[in-house]
Amino acid sequence: MTHRQGPTPPDAPRRTDARLNRERLVAAAREVFAEAGPGASLNEIARRAGWAPAPCTATSPTARPC
């Protein structure tokens, strides 16, 4: 059995729950960036998406801790 390493390509098919989580996160990020601009907080994005900050930064290899 082989295991793929690295992030999932953006065009790869996703499980339904993963797709819905991503949609919620992107919608929350758009909202927060529209309100706060470049100073938007990952904590606020995570909160509005219904996530804890740790999963938010764990899914983004370039994100700094909140």
Q: Quick check: is 4 in a domain?
A: no
Q: Quick check: is 24 in a domain?
A: yes
CA pseudo-torsion sign 18, 33, 48, 54:
positive
Q: What phi, psi does 41 have (nearest 5°)?
A: -95, 135
* pLDDT of amino acid 55: 57
* pLDDT of amino acid 48: 94
Q: Quick check: is 3 in a domain?
A: no
Q: Quick check: is 8 in a domain?
A: no
Q: Return the structure tokens found at 49.
A: 């998406």
Domain count, the chain: 1
Q: Quick check: is 27 in a domain?
A: yes
Segment holding 17, helix H or strand E: helix 16-36
What stretches in the chain show pLDDT beneath 50? 1
Q: Quick check: is 11 in a domain?
A: no
Measured between alpha carbons, how far is residue 29 from residues 3, 6, 53 in Å? 31, 23, 13
Average pLDDT in the chain: 79
> Which residues span the domain enclosing 38?
16-58
* pLDDT of amino acid 51: 85
* pLDDT of amino acid 64: 58
* pLDDT of amino acid 36: 96
DSSP 12: S
Q: Quick check: is 64 in a domain?
A: no
Q: Quick check: is 29 in a domain?
A: yes
